[in-house]
């Protein structure tokens, strides 16, 4: 176990009070507000321990002045709520900046604040706006966009007011920030789409470390950086599929004889790929007579075999578990896929659970997306009728445990080199992704991304907001630790892995790892409490 990061010394007679874990669990169940306090504390600890990573280039490094909207839509504090609504509708704006008699910022009024004032608080439409407006989140003009976005999210608002010398000079909304990020999108993906051959695709694959470094440098939020890394991987794989089709046509095999959907599964389906993912793919063939002829069967078998080999040539290793489109288990017609899923939900077990925890994150990589959408609807329909498979999926998740031991100390696995390690993926990230999947499938949420699933579960009221906040903080921190670790390995000429040596981290890094794993433990306990057999 890792040593404690803090200690206490008793200077006199002392009574140590211990609260057993089981008693704390009972208290949390009886008093949900206590669980909320603990989850908020863990989330705050994770974020405070994390080393500050400032964005140094790209869209989010721009200043607020460069992106803010001017002039401001303003009004005085004496305006009534009715007049404020009329002004917002007439000016076609979503907010009004409220100024006092000296022209200084007093607050901000939005449509949401108007609804709260009129409906929830019962104010009269003739009430002065000064008594009902919200405090404004403010930044100075030189603040970078990543800081603006951080303050906006922490303040739970859509709008941020830019203030200079005490006076409001501009406005930034969540939409403005997003528009700026999209306008500075990566050129790499567009170049990948024009790659003439597999050799050039392989060159782009070899540059994934550069892509990851740039993503971390230009985006404050790790979940956004992960999406950019994933988009680059998926662009390479889509172009590989196109080049494979061109090879078949040149060889005289012709075009695809029937509609199909090439699937990406696992981390690719969730848009959470790291530097060196292996292949996790499959294929859905349309239920048409043309797809069932011997010639069509042979064409699709050849296409999938050559695609898997071409992906391997580019750099994506063949899946050791056989999750590839050339494998008959992942090469089926739409009806065969439907039958397999129906059988697994009717006869659930450990094998079906392990398969589901990988395959149920499927997304269209290339081809007819309507086939994918039809199969996804079937998955939710079957799970709605027969949900026992979710319990087996939770049991499969429980085979991995966060490395937290007695007194919430970090526990490492001994290795043959210089000290113990922590498998960040198996004992942390996978547990959160698995649990989010199970909760989302149970709630009928069709998002695949873990961050999107968890935030949707909060919106539905299926999970506590504080629990999700601490879980997402841990998920983000563990990903940042892992990506940084893998980039260091690449720079040293070593193959990237997912095992971190805590003793090589700074004291802050070790404590953020421990706090993150504690959040993982609490989230897994929440999953097992709802879906576990015991």
pLDDT digits (tens, 9 = 90+) for 446-472: 899 999 999 999 988 999 999 999 999
Q: How many domains does the chain have?
A: 3
Residue 247 and residue 339 in one domain:
yes
Residue 197 and residue 336 in one domain:
yes
Q: How confident is the model at residue 474 (pLDDT cuts 50, 70, 90)?
A: very high
What global pTM score does this model have? 0.77
Please compute, for residue 193, the number of CA atoms within 13 A of its CA located in the half-sphere on the CB side. Answer: 6
Residue 411 and residue 362 in one domain:
no
Residue 177 and residue 309 in one domain:
no
| Other beta carbons less than 10 A from residue 41's beta carbon | 13
CATH of the domain at 137: 3.10.580.10
Residue 174 and residue 191 in one domain:
no
Burial of 320 (0-12, 13-18, 19+ CB in 10 A): exposed
Residue 432 CB partners (closer than 8 Å, separation 6+): 450, 471, 474, 475, 520, 523
Per the domain annotation, does 367 fall within a domain? Answer: yes
51-64 confidence digits (pLDDT tens): 545 555 566 778 89
Residue 191 and residue 331 in one domain:
yes
CB burial readout 220-250, b (16+ within 10 A) else e: bbbbbbbbbbbbbbbbbbbbbbebbbebbee
DSSP state of 80: B
Residue 116 lies in domain: 59-181
Residue 206 and residue 111 in one domain:
no
479-496 confidence digits (pLDDT tens): 999 999 999 999 999 999
145 strand-pairing partners: none
Residue 197 and residue 110 in one domain:
no
Per the domain annotation, does 374 fall within a domain? Answer: yes
Residue 373 and residue 331 in one domain:
yes
Per the domain annotation, does 220 fall within a domain? Answer: yes
Per the domain annotation, does 13 fall within a domain? Answer: no
The pLDDT score that the predictor gives to residue 139 is 94
Per the domain annotation, does 41 fall within a domain? Answer: yes
Residue 203 and residue 335 in one domain:
yes
Per the domain annotation, does 16 fall within a domain? Answer: no
Mean per-residue pLDDT, 131-138 = 91
Per the domain annotation, does 12 fall within a domain? Answer: no
Q: How confident is the model at residue 163 (pLDDT cuts 50, 70, 90)?
A: very high
Residue 194 and residue 142 in one domain:
no
Per the domain annotation, does 264 fall within a domain? Answer: yes
In the listed set 361, 386, 411, which residue is the last one of a domain according to the structure? 386
Instruction: Give a three-class secondary structure readout of 59-120.
Output: HHHCEHHHHCECCCCEEECCCEHHHHHHHHHHHCCCEEEEECCCCCEEEEEEHHHHHHHHHH
* Separation of alpha carbons 137 and 139, rounded Å: 7
Q: How confident is the model at residue 295 (pLDDT cuts 50, 70, 90)?
A: very high
């Amino acid at each position: 176990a890792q040593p404690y990061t803090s200690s206490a010394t008793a200077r006199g007679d002392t009574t140590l009070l211990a609260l057993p874990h089981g008693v704390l669990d009972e208290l949390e169940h009886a008093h949900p507000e206590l669980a909320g306090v603990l989850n908020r504390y863990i989330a705050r600890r994770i974020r405070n321990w994390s080393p500050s990573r400032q964005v140094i280039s790209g869209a989010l490094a721009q200043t607020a002045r460069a992106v803010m909207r001017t002039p401001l839509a303003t009004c005085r504090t004496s305006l009534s709520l009715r007049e404020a609504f009329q002004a917002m509708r007439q000016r076609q704006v979503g907010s009004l900046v409220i100024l006092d008699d000296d022209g200084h910022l007093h607050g901000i009024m939005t449509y949401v604040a108007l609804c709260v004032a009129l409906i929830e608080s019962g104010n009269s439409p003739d009430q002065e706006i000064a008594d009902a407006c919200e405090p404004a989140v403010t930044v100075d003009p030189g603040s970078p966009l990543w800081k603006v976005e951080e303050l906006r999210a922490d303040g739970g608002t859509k709008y941020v007011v830019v203030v200079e010398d005490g006076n409001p000079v501009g406005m930034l909304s969540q939409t403005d920030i997003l528009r700026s990020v999209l306008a500075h999108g990566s050129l790499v993906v567009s170049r990948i789409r024009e790659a003439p051959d597999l050799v050039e695709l392989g060159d782009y694959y070899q540059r994934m470390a550069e892509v990851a470094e740039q993503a971390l440098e230009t985006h404050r939020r790790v979940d956004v950086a992960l999406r950019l890394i994933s988009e680059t991987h998926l662009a390479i794989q889509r172009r590989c599929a196109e080049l494979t089709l061109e090879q078949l046509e040149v060889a005289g095999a012709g075009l695809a004889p029937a509609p199909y959907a090439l699937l990406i599964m696992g981390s690719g389906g969730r848009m959470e790929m790291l530097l060196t993912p292996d292949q996790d793919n499959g294929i859905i063939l349309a239920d048409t007579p043309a797809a069932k002829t011997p010639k069509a069967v042979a064409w699709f078998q050849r296409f999938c075999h050559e695609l898997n080999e071409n992906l391997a040539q580019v750099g994506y290793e063949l899946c050791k578990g056989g999750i590839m489109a050339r494998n008959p288990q992942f090469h089926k017609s739409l009806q065969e896929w439907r039958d397999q899923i129906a059988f697994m939900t009717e006869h659930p077990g450990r094998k079906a659970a392990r398969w589901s925890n990988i395959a149920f994150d499927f997304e269209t990589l290339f081809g007819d997306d309507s086939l994918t959408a039809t199969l996804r609807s079937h998955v939710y329909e079957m799970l709605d009728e027969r949900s026992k498979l979710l319990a087996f999926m939770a049991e499969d998740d429980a085979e991995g445990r966060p490395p937290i031991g007695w007194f919430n100390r970090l526990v490492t696995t001994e290795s043959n080199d210089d000290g113990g390690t922590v498998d960040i993926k198996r004992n942390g990230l996978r547990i959160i992704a698995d649990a989010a999947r199970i909760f989302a499938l149970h709630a009928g949420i069709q998002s695949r991304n873990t961050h999107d699933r968890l935030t949707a579960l909060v919106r539905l009221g299926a999970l506590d907001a504080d629990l999700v906040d601490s879980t997402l903080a841990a998920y983000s921190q563990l990903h940042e630790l892992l990506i940084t670790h893998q980039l260091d390995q690449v720079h040293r000429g070593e193959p990237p892995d997912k095992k971190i040596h805590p003793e090589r981290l700074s004291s802050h890094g070790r404590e953020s790892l421990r706090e993150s794993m504690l959040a993982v433990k609490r989230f897994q306990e929440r999953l097992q409490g709802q879906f576990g057999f015991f």
